[in-house]
Amino acid sequence: MRTSIAVLLAVWLIPGPAYSQAWEAGINQAILNFRNDRSNFLRSHVIRAHHDNPAIHAEDDAVAHLVEVSLPGVVMLAVQAKPQPQAPAQPGQAPKPDDGKPRFSVGSGFIVALDQGKPLIVTNAHVVKDAGAGGTAILQFDGGVRSTGVVLDYNISYDLALVRSNTECPSCAVLKFGLAKAKQNGQDIDVPNVKVGHRVIAIGAPFGLPQTVTRGIVSALKRNPGQGLVDDFIQTDASINHGNSGGPLFNMRGEVVGVNSMIFSPTGGSVGIGFAIPITQVQKMIDRWRATGVVSSSRIGAEVQAGRGGLEVGDITKDSPAEKAGLRKGDVIVKINGQSVPTTPYLFTKTIADMVPNTKVELRIRRALGEVTITVVLEAVR
C-alpha cells in the first residue's frame, strides 16, 4: 500500500512540460494499485477486527436480546380514517370517483399495563383521533396476533391516547418505563432515564411494516418544536417514519424513555430529526386516567396575553367557562387559586390544561374599579 501511494504521488508531482501516454498509463496503474491495496488492507484488518473483537459480538447480542424481549410489548394499530374532502376538479376535468373503500390510518403503540387482564396500550392521539373516544382500533400484536380495542380517551394537546384491547393476550409483555431522578428547584423530579449521546432503539410499524427496529442516539433533550403543550421532547436520529407514531423509544436497558411522535423533514421521510414525548408525560397521563377516568386536558375558553402585573384577557369563547363565570375582555388575571399567575400565556394555558376537568378554579382579577375574585369551572378539551 505504501509503494502504491509513493508511486502515485511521484507521478503527480514530477514537474515538466512533457506529458505522454506513458505518464497517463503510469497514473492509471498507480491508482489501480492504490485501490487494490486499500481493499486488501480493509479486508485483512477491518473484517478481522470484527471477527476477533468479542466486545462487538457482545454488544450485538445485547441489542438483539433487548429487541427480543421488547417486541411482545409493541403493537401496530389501525383506525378507519374519516373521509377527506376532495379538491374541486379543474376546468375540463372530471372529479375523481370515490371507490367506496374504507381507508385506515396506521400507527404504533406499546403495552403499559393489564386492565382486567387485557393489554392497556399507549399511542399518539393523532393515530386514533378519527376513531374518537369509545371508538374501535384494530390491533396487531407480536407474532401477527390480531384483536380489536377501544379508545378509552385521548389528549390532542399532549398527543397521547389510551387504548384497551378487547381480548387478553397471553404472549404479550408489559414494558418497563425508564425513569430517573433529577433536581429541580431543590426538589426531586422524575426524568427520562437517558442522556444526550446515549444510544436508543425505536420499534414500530413504519409504512405498515410491523415490528420494525431502528437505532440511533439521543441528539438533544428538552426540545420545544412548538407543537401542543409538550415542551421537553427527546430528539433522536433513529429512523422514524409514518407509522412509527405512538411507538416506543428504548434506552439500552430495555426501558421505554419516550413515545415517537413526529419528525422534521423536507421530504416527508426520515432525515434523522425525530421527536419523542418523554415517558414522564405518559406516566402522568396514566396516573390521571386511573384517578379520574379521563386523560383530556382542561381549559377556561379565553385567550390571554402578557399584561402589566399579570395576564390580560383577550377574546372569550362563547358559552365557555370563562364567559359563564363573568370574565371580561381586558381583565387582568393576577392570581390563580391564591398563587401568583404564571408569567407567560403558555405557562398559564399549561397550568390550566394539567388540571382535571370540572375543577373549580379561583381567579383574582384586576379591573378599573379594583380587584374581584371569580370562580371558573374548567371544561374538558381534547
Residue among 4, 142, 147, 159 flagged as catalytic:
159
d(CA 17, CA 125): 72
Contact 192, 258 (CB under 8 A): yes
- Determine which one of 4, 70, 126, 297 is catalytic: 126
Is the four-CA dihedral 275, 112, 191, 189 of positive or negative sign? positive
How many DSSP H helices and E strands does the chain contain? 8, 22
Please state, in angstroms and rounded to a whole number, the distance separating the CA atoms of residues 241 and 206. Answer: 5
Q: Supply φ then ψ for residue 353, to 5 degrees.
A: -60, -35
Q: Which three cell numbers stand for residue 225?
A: 418544536
State the alpha helices, DSSP H only, in 53-139.
54-70, 125-128
Catalytic residue among 245, 270, 296, 298: 245
159 is catalytic: yes
45 is catalytic: no
Give the other-Cβ count within 10 Å of 312's Cβ.
18
100's CB contacts (< 8 A; 6+ apart) are none
Give catalytic status of residue 261 as yes or no: no
Q: For cell 373549580, what's the residue? A: 360
Catalytic residues: 126, 159, 245
